[in-house]
Amino acid sequence: MFVGDSLQRNQWISFICLVESVIPKDKKSMKRGRVHSVFKAKEYDATIEFYWAPFLVESNTDIPIKSDPKQRIIKVDSISQRAKNWLGADILVFNTYVWWMSGLKTKALWGEFENGEEGYEELETAVSYRVALRTWANWIDSTIDPSKTKVFFTTMSPSHQKNKEWGNVNGIRCFNETRPVTKKGHWGTGSNKEMMNVVASVMRRMKVPVTVLNVTQLSEYRIDAHTSIYGELQGKLLTNEQRADPLHFADCIHWCLPGVPDTWNQLLFAYL
């Protein structure tokens, strides 16, 4: 089971694509849901599942989705309502990053939503991220039997929004980029090292072993691999007018398939 945000769903779809082509049509099925989706290989009684939890912990903004970051309140100490759906998986692959990076401080809440969702505190993003990851880590340590379940954590997937960072001053974000960055060690503002350090420090203190699937640096180079203007917006392909406005409509966060997430899954498969 893959658990996380739309980039984790990107990885889940990639994993299915790598597997399903060798399974006869009548021996596989797909059930898509807003929160929980399941691909099944019937002959093996095996499933590859995705569970939507962009913060891992609970919030007021992901089910149903509120697109305005200013409305987001994250219950940094609450995970049980989400996590009960992850029990029984043989392999769990988690991620959480992009929903935290709204450019704002995060509104963190302890306990239940009450009094019109008041009572939250505004915290620096890295602080609330650490608290939420500790909540997740405590659930893993207290619930998961490592002899039965392998746990992975996929690091942040970089976005490529600022073309000046790779020297294309006349470009428009990732639009029309056809080659990877060749500068060794390229690192843009789409990846936050402070947040990555939070992940590392939380993992070091865990009892249950978690394999970190470090995809960040290798993905940083791939300015050419995003869906750009060839993706969807709210489930519909971009119109010709929208495609003609890459500054506002190019998707430089998610990845084309086949593409970069296939490499992530080759690394995952090597670990497995």
In the residue annotation, 147 being an active-site residue is answered as no
Instruction: Kindly name the residue from 14, 37, 160, 251 that is annotated as catalytic.
Output: 251
- Annotated active-site residue 145? The verdict is no
The 3 state secondary structure assigned to the chain is CEEECHHHHHHHHHHHHHHHCCCCHHHEEEECCCCEEEEEEHHHCEEEEEEECCCCCEECCECCECCCHHHCEEECCCCHHHHCCCCCCCEEEECCCHHHCCCCCEEEECCCCCCCCCCCEEECHHHHHHHHHHHHHHHHHHHCCCCCCEEEEECCCCCCCCHHHHCCCCCECCECCCCCCCCCCCCCCCCCHHHHHHHHHHHHCCCCCEEEECCHHHHHCCCCCEEECCCEECCEECCHHHHCCHHHHCEEEEECCCCHHHHHHHHHHHHC
Catalytic residue among 6, 36, 186, 224: 6
Cα dist. 78→59, 110, 113, 241 in Å?
Answer: 9, 8, 11, 43
Amino acid at 83: A
* 26 given a catalytic annotation: no
Instruction: Report the catalytic residues.
Output: 6, 251, 254
